[in-house]
Amino acid sequence: TGETSSSDFPIVNAKYPNLWGGSDAFVFKLSSNGQNVGYSTYFGGSDSEAGNGIAVDSARNTYVTGTTFSTDFPLVNALYSSLLGGQDVFVFKLSFDGQQVFYSTYLGGNVQESGSAIAIDSLGNAYVAGWTSSGDFPQKGVSNLNCSVGITWLPFISKITSTGKSLSYSVCLGRNFLRSEEGIAHSIAVDGLGNAYITGSTSTSDFPTTTTDPKIISWDADYNGDWDAFLLKFGVSYLEITPNNQDFGLATPGTVIDRIFTVKNTANRTLTGTLATTAPFSIVSGASFTLAEGASQNITVRFAPTQKGFFKAALKATGNFPATSVELQGIAAFAVNHVPVISSAMLQGAPGNAAVVSGRYFGPLPGELRIDGNPVAATEWNDTFIRFTISDLLPGSHTLTVNTVFGEASTPLQVLSVQPVISALLPGNGAVGSTVVIDGYNFGAQQNSSTITVGGIDAPVLFWSDQRLRIKIPALPTGIRYPVQITTATGQAAKTLLVRKLLLVTQYGDCDNGVLAICPPVILSIDKQSADGKTVDIVLENLYNRWYELTVTPTLATIPNALPRFIGPKQKIKISNVAIEPGTNIGFFADATSNDGMFRVALDMLHMVAMGGHLPVTAMDAAVAQFSSVNPDAALAVFFVKLVDNLNNKDISAIIKQMVELPKLAQDPSVQFFLIGYLNISATQLEKLARWGELVHIASVVTDMVEQLLLPRYAASSLEAK
């Protein structure tokens, strides 16, 4: 994780694919061999963010903390939903595939703070460390450690529960800890018992020692001047049991195996409690204890099976301390000493595929699995079959070996070559020079000698990874479907792509007869496109009995001839040889101000998406704010902005919710005009839509909007099905 201000940061399978502010935090997941990107995403609001600390739990979920200045940081199930100061800590939890945010929250007070580091325990609790300058920083737990007002920087540690909905504790290391000066927590770790270890720096001369706080042990009690490092162990009172798990091994039914455990008091007070377990395990001695601070006691646990089987139990300790336990296991069997036998025929598969080796006498507990002598992790192991994943091997014949305490067995393993597979082209059509994303797998981490062609012509490659490629469509005649073919050292894959004419923006012009007039559209269409797709002839058509005074937007590409000043009723104007690139926004506006400004902004945004451009979220927010107070069509603009955002995120449920909102919008006069004038909805249909809100009509309207404005951005089959 870190901070980026680049709009072209390499994004793969992103939850948030666009840069939102001046700089955003990023999260980047890389495979164990460094060759594949699992996902790469922005994370932030409209101001600035930086990711400073990252951790991963046993389920491969990712936790990130850092600093945010944004009031619109993306929040999910937030513990704190508002930015209280100019700068707050953020904490979020992301699923293993980067597609789901379990929780995302602010953490801070009314001044400023920053999250430096994060650690995760076995239960999924998050431990966050950093610094704060806020006297009202969230506090819970230890009473003698508080936030001090007026200190420039003060270390803090906060423990967030696994659901992200509450704090277990949250303390500033102040007052009785750092009474003055400054301090910063830089890094944090957590052990299996929930103790947090924090390191950082401090410039205070009254850092606690054994003389200043009897609860704190210190081996360097002297302040050494300027800034010192500090190391702190922050925990709760507990009982420690060692070893923390125990395999009793193999016992014949009717015999016993004893093991010695030690319980130790690591708290700063006397602990009293009892130990218990379940059959066929039992406690022979030491089931009850009273231990002074630092004292320990041995106990004897017995495994005494009476029948065959695999047994598991817990050795639990309870008392005036947090309950704790360790796992016990053992096998009961009559000794036969069977050598493993493999009955599977020839095993085969490609790297990354799951495979199963069948047989008998593999044993109930995992032994060792090897391919060509190299260990391979088994995902499932029992007496008759073993499941594993074929590792990254060269195609050809290899040897698989199963090893147990009684011997080993081997069998051939045939590793197949890896054919490239194209799963989708996004979008499924595009203009010459526009960008197409190719999703699939087995493309290879690097391009090397691999090629991509469209209609037999080499396509410029913008990005290459094992599961995603990005190309530009080469110069080809339009209106034809061409095969997009990938050729690698291991094979070929192909999928068809429609090369279409370049899309231009349909632009609403301003009215010249009053502020609250409803404005008809002026239509832009393509009359001719050059073979290389770089120039077009366009037709500007006034559909209504009204005069328009025209100006051209600054974003327009080169126009070789003068633009007429006026366009009359039912008039067409042809403009030839307009130089344009895909994604360029062409608009013709009147000089007068009217109420359709938000129409123009919203449609421009939609068309930028349709042509593969990036969506400037901050610009949209500013536009909505600018027009919402004066224009009756602002509601439709907000509807458009939300629709674009939901389509970018492929959030189908949110799109459906917007469908339900449309009948209410349809009662707005400016919205009615848009539906009639632009989408050719009849007055009868509109009346039904506004009066009864029939979902059939709503779906029809939204479908038309998607097809005309946004479909080129997405794979048609996928979007239509959803």
Does residue 485 register a pLDDT over 90?
Answer: yes
Are 161 and 282 within one domain? no
Does residue 109 register a pLDDT over 50?
Answer: yes
Are 396 and 462 within one domain? no
Picking from 103-107, 197-201, 361-365, 422-426, which range would have the lowest pLDDT averaged per residue?
Answer: 361-365
Are 618 and 528 within one domain? no
* pLDDT score recorded for residue 84: 87
Q: Which residue has the higher pLDDT, 708 or 452?
A: 452
User: For residues 396-433, b (16+ Cβ closer than 10 Å) or e, as one string?
Assistant: eebebbbbbeeeebebebebeebebebeebbbbbbbbb
pLDDT (average), residues 318-333: 84
Whether 638 and 620 have beta carbons less than 8 Å apart is answered as: no
DSSP H/E element including 249: strand 245-251
The string of pLDDT tens digits covering residues 383-411 is 888 999 887 777 788 999 999 878 899 99
* pLDDT score recorded for residue 521: 43
* pLDDT score recorded for residue 508: 35
* CA 630 to mean position of chain CA atoms: 38
Does residue 426 register a pLDDT over 50?
Answer: yes
Model confidence at 75, pLDDT cuts 50, 70, 90, reads very high
Are 18 and 131 within one domain? yes
Are 77 and 183 within one domain? yes
Across 91-100, 409-418, 693-702, the highest mean pLDDT is recorded for 91-100
Picking from 35-44, 84-93, 332-341, which range would have the lowest pLDDT averaged per residue?
Answer: 332-341
Domain boundary among 500, 531, 552: 500
Q: Which residue has the higher pLDDT, 325 or 28?
A: 28
Q: In what order do the strands lie in the sheet with 368-371?
A: 347-349, 407-415, 396-404, 368-371, 374-375
Measured between alpha carbons, how far is 232 from 215 in angstroms, rounded to an integer? 12
* pLDDT score recorded for residue 182: 66
Domain boundary among 548, 570, 594: 594
Does residue 428 register a pLDDT over 60?
Answer: yes
The percentage of the chain sitting over the pLDDT mark of 70, rounded to a whole number, equals 63
* pLDDT score recorded for residue 133: 84
Across 120-134, 168-182, 348-362, 506-520, the highest mean pLDDT is recorded for 120-134
Model confidence at 628, pLDDT cuts 50, 70, 90, reads very low
Does residue 234 register a pLDDT over 70?
Answer: yes
The gap between the terminal CA atoms of the chain, to the nearest Å, is 33
Are 564 and 538 within one domain? yes
The string of pLDDT tens digits covering residues 690-705 is 443 444 444 555 555 5
Measured between alpha carbons, how far is 262 from 188 in angstroms, rounded to an integer? 28
Are 377 and 263 within one domain? no
pLDDT (average), residues 133-162: 75
Are 281 and 385 within one domain? no
The boundaries of the domain holding residue 111 are 2-234
Measured between alpha carbons, how far is 3 from 62 in angstroms, rounded to an integer? 16
Encoded tokens for 68: 């945010």
In the chain, the amino acid numbered 649 is: N
pLDDT (average), residues 338-356: 81
Does residue 46 register a pLDDT over 70?
Answer: yes
* pTM greater than 0.95: no
Closest CA to 332 of 311, 362, 356: 311
Does residue 129 register a pLDDT over 90?
Answer: yes
Are 262 and 357 within one domain? no
Whether 325 and 344 have beta carbons less than 8 Å apart is answered as: no
- The CATH number of the domain where 382 resides is what? 2.60.40.10
Closest CA to 615 of 625, 607, 627, 624: 607
pLDDT (average), residues 134-143: 76
The percentage of the chain sitting over the pLDDT mark of 90, rounded to a whole number, equals 26
Domain boundary among 415, 444, 461: 415
Picking from 104-108, 286-290, 391-395, 553-557, which range would have the lowest pLDDT averaged per residue?
Answer: 553-557
* pLDDT score recorded for residue 345: 62
Closest CA to 139 of 184, 169, 115: 169
Model confidence at 43, pLDDT cuts 50, 70, 90, reads very high
* pLDDT score recorded for residue 456: 93
pLDDT (average), residues 315-328: 86
Does residue 56 register a pLDDT over 90?
Answer: yes
* pLDDT score recorded for residue 519: 40
Measured between alpha carbons, how far is 116 from 125 in angstroms, rounded to an integer? 17
Model confidence at 449, pLDDT cuts 50, 70, 90, reads confident
Measured between alpha carbons, how far is 594 from 508 in angstroms, rounded to an integer? 11
Q: Which residue has the higher pLDDT, 84 or 506?
A: 84
Picking from 256-270, 324-338, 453-467, which range would have the lowest pLDDT averaged per residue?
Answer: 324-338
Are 449 and 390 within one domain? no
Are 129 and 187 within one domain? yes
pLDDT (average), residues 264-276: 84
Residues 6+ positions from 126 with CB-CB distance below 8 Å = 55, 63, 91, 93, 118, 119, 120, 159, 160, 162, 164
Are 256 and 388 within one domain? no
* pLDDT score recorded for residue 550: 58
Across 347-356, 548-557, 633-642, the highest mean pLDDT is recorded for 347-356
Does residue 717 register a pLDDT over 90?
Answer: no
Model confidence at 213, pLDDT cuts 50, 70, 90, reads very low
* pLDDT score recorded for residue 659: 63
Length of the chain: 722
Model confidence at 142, pLDDT cuts 50, 70, 90, reads low
* pLDDT score recorded for residue 494: 93
Total number of domains constituting the chain: 6
Looking at every residue in the chain, the average pLDDT score rounds to: 75
pLDDT (average), residues 164-185: 68
Whether 68 and 24 have beta carbons less than 8 Å apart is answered as: no
